[in-house]
Chains A and B, each alone.
Chain A
Amino acid sequence: MPDGVGSGPSAIRLVWVYPDLLSTYGDRGNLLVLARRARLRGIGVEIAEVNSDQRVPVDGDIYLLGGGEDLPQVLAARRLRAGGGLAAAAGRGAVVFAVCAGYQIIGTEFGGAEGEPVPGLGLLDLRSGRGQRRGVGEITADVDPALDVERLTGFENHQGTTVRGPGVKPLATVLTGVGNGDGTEGAYSGRVLGTYLHGPALVRNPGLADLLLRWVAGTLPAIDPRQEELVLNLRRERLAAQPG
């Protein structure tokens, strides 16, 4: 099913994992942003959308996991664990970018529909549970300086809290919003990265999209500023709308 547009031997292979279960609200945006930012640099892209009745290929470069309701989240975790493709890909160094329910799934454990512990994929040493209140609204957070990514702006809509084990770093420090629940937001280790910014998290954070592309393709050529103007205006507008 690869949708080869400008693909070649060096094309980046994007794998959208389980859009039938993990695509709640605009998750396709992350796929489109990565594809666009690669193509604007002359890098080819191959896209595979893999539903939960299909095998997750192990030879992808970037794997995307989106958000989902409780029941689909539990199903997705069960099928991903049974299939083993995503864990194998991560094991050989592929990039994994997971948002919201997907972020919880890549951890060791998360809370199911009734709060019962459900085993995750264990790609990151994280445990997620249910917090006291739902975090719904705009979120801004400053990214770990080691990653060289500008301030995050996005929308969160979750009731999860996430605790990191040793060896897993927080992605960012929360300025406004809830994030992991302890003042941090998201997590990463190696090339596996998760965040509570839900849906099209990469749209307003092109720097984060470029980080994922850089992990695959190394140093990236600059993008024509005219192609960046709108998204930078959107970033400015959204950040200006947030206190802090």
Chain B
Amino acid sequence: MSTLGPLDPSRSGLPLRARLATTVGGAAGRASRLAGRGDGSVIGGIIGLRLQPDLLSLLARGRRIVLVTGTNGKTTTTRLITAALGTLGQQIASNAFGANMEAGLVSALAKAPDATMAVLEVDEKHMPAMLEATGARDRGIVTLLNLSRDQMDRAAEIWLLARRWRAALAGAPDCRVIANADDPLVAWAAGQARRVTWVAAGQRWHDDSWCCPNCGSHLQRDGDDWHCGECPNRRPPVSWVLADDEVIDPTGRSRPLDLTLPGRANRSNAVVALAVADVFGVGVAQALSAIRPVQSVAGRYTQVDRRGCALRLLLAKNPAGWLEALDILAPAPVPVMLAVNAQGPDGKDTSWLWDVDYRRLRGRQVFVGGERKLDLAVRLEADEVTFRIVSTVDEAVDLARSPSMDVLANYTAFQQIRALLGRTA
């Protein structure tokens, strides 16, 4: 878990009240962490903001800001960018544990008063506001990964979200945008930005972009390429490409990625991180040397031994995430446990389960858990996947009697499993 470094209340340029706000906020964060209530990054930021509402702007002033947003991959990409920029030898502020709203950003910056750079993941809905508040609109970098349906009971509809991104970026001509050209919604959202580096980062999930976000006509697709049959909207020319397991840089040179992290989605995240690193003058080889060793991100992909079974923990929160996660499951006969909750952070609506195609799990040993295991069980039954319902990971481990097992869970189900398995996860 993260440690709050000693705060420097004399950080130059901060007004007295802002200094007090970061000090009090930091103390509250430490108290919260000691009390075992998470990593303390949110409560500290909330208290700081209450004392000084423009604290984020004050803390961000004078730093080079990278914002990372999108439906999936924010936390991992933030981590990979931080690793790549770390080769410059400077201190970097980052909300590495996914606290991605204003308070989390405040906390990340307050913890690293001397960092000249900040790599911050930002909730999709809050991107326009954070673009303003962090000053990233003027001299910063915004990284747009992908957009797909996610927690529809509390998040904005995604076409609406894309429209808000588009307006915000159109009004930020000095902002550098790194965007995934393969996602039509993202491409459209970045379409009026002045300075865009387009990355062919791929798109596995197409079900939210069958139609042109510009005019609504059916999009024509040919592999990763796409264009609208009715209006001029088309995939922009790209300068970075993810091609299977390799990255092709803007000079046309390709190199194997060789990541420790599994899966296509992480290769996509890595190529985006390389494009960001390039803006800072970090070359591909240098950036890759720092990105390759990353093996788990905030608990994701962690391996834990449990009663002689090597568990690998995978997190996916929405249909596009589950699609990618099902891709990286160890092949049969390694058993799989799926766990789903529907608490506030998960979205209270389990409808999304019906957007995931589970048929590839047919014939495998599957365990079903989490607080909404019945919703998941009914879903698997409709896809003719056989499974056993369990109460805990341990029950699945005992029933499976396998040397290893993959555990795929959504957000709070994942956190519950990590808590059960202890700090090692």
B225-251 vs A, Cβ < 8 Å mask (1 yes, 0 no)? 000000000000000000000000000
CB neighbors of B among A143-168 (8 A) = 155, 157
Q: Are B216 and A25 in contact (CB under 8 A)?
A: no
The answer to whether the Cβ of A80 comes within 8 Å of any Cβ in the partner chain is no
Contacts of A199 in B (CB 8 A): 349, 351, 354
Contact A237 B349 (CB under 8 A): no
Q: List B residues 367-391 near A (Cβ within 8 Å).
A: 374-375, 377-379, 381-383
Asked if A169 is an interface residue, CB under 8 A from chain B, the answer is no
In the assembled complex, which residues on chain A have CB atoms less than 8 Å from the CB atom of B210?
A: 20-21, 51
| Of the residues A26, A53, A198, A231, contact of B353 by C-beta under 8 Å | A26
A237 and B324 CA atoms in complex are apart in Å by 30
Tell me if B354 and A27 are in contact (CB < 8 A).
yes
A203-B378, A231-B378, A234-B375 given; A24·B152 CB < 8 A: yes
Q: Is the CB of A75 within 8 A of B354?
A: no
A156 to chain B, nearest CB (A): 9
Q: A230-B377, A230-B381 given as contacts; is B351 within 8 A of A29 (CB)?
A: yes
Q: Are B149 and A230 within 8 A (Cβ)?
A: no
Contact B152–A25 (Cβ < 8 Å):
yes
Q: Which residues of B contact A155 (CB under 8 A)?
A: 153, 348-351
CA distance A67 to B160 in the complex (A): 15
Contact B159 A69 (CB under 8 A): yes
Asked whether B354 lies within 8 Å of A157 as measured between CB atoms, the reply is: no
A 16-43 to B, binary, CB cutoff 8 A, 1 in contact else 0: 0001110111111100110010000000
Chain B residue nearest to A52 (CB atoms) is: B218
Chain B residues in 8 Å Cβ range of A21: 210-211
Interface size on A, residues (CB 8 A): 35
Given A52-B218, A231-B378, A200 contacting B153 (CB threshold 8 A): no
Give 19 pairs: A residue, B residue, CB < 8 Å, sorted on A.
Answer: A19-B207, A20-B210, A20-B211, A23-B355, A24-B152, A24-B157, A25-B349, A25-B352, A25-B355, A26-B353, A52-B218, A70-B157, A71-B159, A155-B153, A155-B351, A199-B351, A203-B378, A230-B378, A233-B374
Enumerate chain A residues within 8 angstroms of B154, measured Cβ to Cβ.
136
Is the CB of A183 closer than 8 A to any CB of chain B?
Answer: no
**Chain A residues near B217 (CB-CB < 8 A):** 53
Chain A neighbourhood of B352, CB < 8 A: 25-26
- B129 CB to closest chain A CB, in angstroms? 20
Residue A72, interface by CB 8 Å: yes
Q: How far is the CA of A110 from the CA of B217 in the complex (A)?
A: 21
* Residues of chain B lying within 8 A (CB to CB) of residue A234: 374-375, 377-378
Inter-chain CA distance A21–B334, complex, in Å, is 38
Q: A20-B218, A36-B382, A137-B348 are in contact. Are A237 and B159 (CB under 8 A)?
A: no
Contacts of B354 in A (CB 8 A): 26-29, 32, 199-200, 203
Is the pair B211, A72 in contact by a Cβ cutoff of 8 Å? yes
B79 to chain A, nearest CB (A): 29
Q: Mark B182-223, 1 if CB is under 8 A from A, else 0.
A: 000000000000000000000000010011000011100000
List the A side residues contacting B381 at CB < 8 Å. Answer: 230-231
Which residue from chain A places its CB closest to the CB of B357 in the assembled complex? A28
B157: which A residues are within 8 A, CB to CB?
Answer: 24, 69-70
Q: How does the 8 Å CB contact mask read for A211-244 relative to B, with 1 for contact and 0 for none?
A: 0000000000000000000110110010000000
Among B218, B379, B382, the most chain A Cβ lie within 10 Å of the Cβ of B382
Q: Annotate B79-105 by CB proximity to A: 1 below 8 A, 0 otherwise.
A: 000000000000000000000000000
Considering the complex, give the chain B residue whose CB is closest to the CB of A69: B157
A-facing residues in B307-356 (Cβ within 8 Å): 348-355
Collect the chain A residues with CB atoms within 8 Å of residue B355's CB. Answer: 23, 25-26, 28
Residues on B with beta carbons closer than 8 Å to the beta carbon of A24: 149, 152, 157
List of B residues within 8 angstroms of A230 by Cβ? 374, 377-378, 381
Q: How far is the CA of A26 from the CA of B207 in the complex (A)?
A: 11
B residues less than 8 Å from A136 (CB atoms): 153-154
Q: Which of B160, B350, B351, B382 contacts A69 (CB 8 A)?
A: B160
Contacting pair A75 B211 (CB below 8 A): yes
Expressed in whole angstroms, the Cα–Cα distance for A51 and B382 within the complex equals 23
Whether A237 and B382, one on each chain, are in contact in the complex, defined by CB atoms closer than 8 angstroms, is no
A24 to B: closest C-beta gap in Å? 7
**Further pairs besides A21-B211, A25-B149, A53-B218: 20, Cβ < 8 Å:** A19-B207, A20-B210, A20-B218, A23-B207, A25-B352, A26-B351, A26-B354, A29-B354, A29-B382, A32-B383, A52-B211, A71-B216, A155-B348, A155-B351, A157-B153, A198-B351, A199-B349, A200-B351, A203-B354, A231-B381
Asked whether, in the complex, the Cβ of A137 is within 8 Å of the Cβ of B382, the reply is no
Contacts of A137 in B (CB 8 A): 153, 348
With a 10 A CB-CB cut-off, give which of A28, A51, A138 has the most chain B CB atoms.
Answer: A28
The residues of B that contact A200 with a CB separation of less than 8 Å are 351, 354
Question: Which B residues touch A29, using CB under 8 A?
Answer: 351, 354, 379, 382
Output the least CB separation between A112 and chain B (Å).
12
Q: Are B374 and A237 in contact (CB under 8 A)?
A: yes
Q: How far is the CB of A208 from chain B (nearest CB, A)?
A: 15
